[in-house]
Structure 1
């Protein structure tokens, strides 16, 4: 869940994010039919951002950021550029990573090929069980599933 915001973003990060979104918007509008026009528009966009990069008045900088976000919203593309494996892309979560328990059913000869990895894995599993039992207590052997 790395996409969830854990702390407030600084003004500089918001501006960088706005710039990146603006260039992706330009890419959606121009790149499909004219790469040179896209690059020209991207240079103009960068010049617009560079005009105000040394703004010291925070109120004016905040207003510029909000105006940029509003303009980005108003000029949004009906089919924005999405990377295939990114959320919203055509291949998002197409291949799930294999579950961790799958390593537990490996044959001992297979495990012998990676002795350091499986020794560390066993140690981590023991630490996890100890942490679990410390927090929640031991499992009741009377209860069966």
Structure 2
């Protein structure tokens, strides 16, 4: 779930996000490119007008007003990109996990000898790294009950 926010955003990131969401909103309402570009330039001018503001109280008020304006003008049917969460193609292409290659038939593996030789080397390196990092696993029969 990479779309979930897991860290605090800087002020700069918040402003950029607000600007992009504003552009997306304009894009949803204005279907003709020339109308969209004109209003996008006006939006950018509005952001540029306050870019050198140093009074953080005023900046916070501007951000709150802009967020409210964006929320109050939200589109009734927001645009969703196909591969984004909620889109029609989200999760459609499933990337198989690496362990699937372990179950290939030897004749299938023989068609790609260099790849599978390198893969076996890397698996051995990974097992060596794992054992050095976390220790050797206990044998199954040595567990005390």
User: For the superposition of Structure 1 and Structure 2, which TM-score range results when normalised by the shorter chain?
Assistant: 0.7 to 0.9
The answer to whether the aligner puts 1:44 opposite 2:26 as a matched pair is no
Q: Partner residue of 1:8?
A: 8
CA distance 1:116–1:72, shift in 2 (3 Å): farther
Q: Larger C-alpha radius of gyration, 1 or 2?
A: 2
| Cα deviations by residue, 1:53-111 (Å, 9 ceiling, x for unpaired) | 11111221121111111111000001112111111111111121123222112233543
Structure 1 residue ranges (4+ consecutive) displaced by more than 6 angstroms after TM superposition = none
Q: Partner residue of 1:74?
A: 72
Q: 1:65 aligns to what SS in structure 2?
A: helix
Name the Cα RMSD after superposition. Answer: 2.7
CA distance 1:62–1:115, shift in 2 (3 Å): farther
Greater relative contact order (Cα < 8 A, sep 6+)? 1
CA distance 1:129–1:3, shift in 2 (3 Å): farther
Alignment partners' CA distance in 1, 2:63 and 2:115: 49
Give the number of equivalent residue pairs.
140
TM-score, structure 2 length as denominator? 0.78
Alignment partners' CA distance in 1, 2:136 and 2:60: 48
Which region of structure 1 is more displaced relative to structure 2, 79-88 or 96-105? 96-105
List gaps (5 residues or longer) in structure 2.
none
TM-score, structure 1 length as denominator? 0.78
Q: 2:24 aligns to what SS in structure 1?
A: helix
Alignment partners' CA distance in 1, 2:86 and 2:135: 38
List gaps (5 residues or longer) in structure 1.
none
Which region of structure 1 is more displaced relative to structure 2, 104-113 or 66-75? 104-113
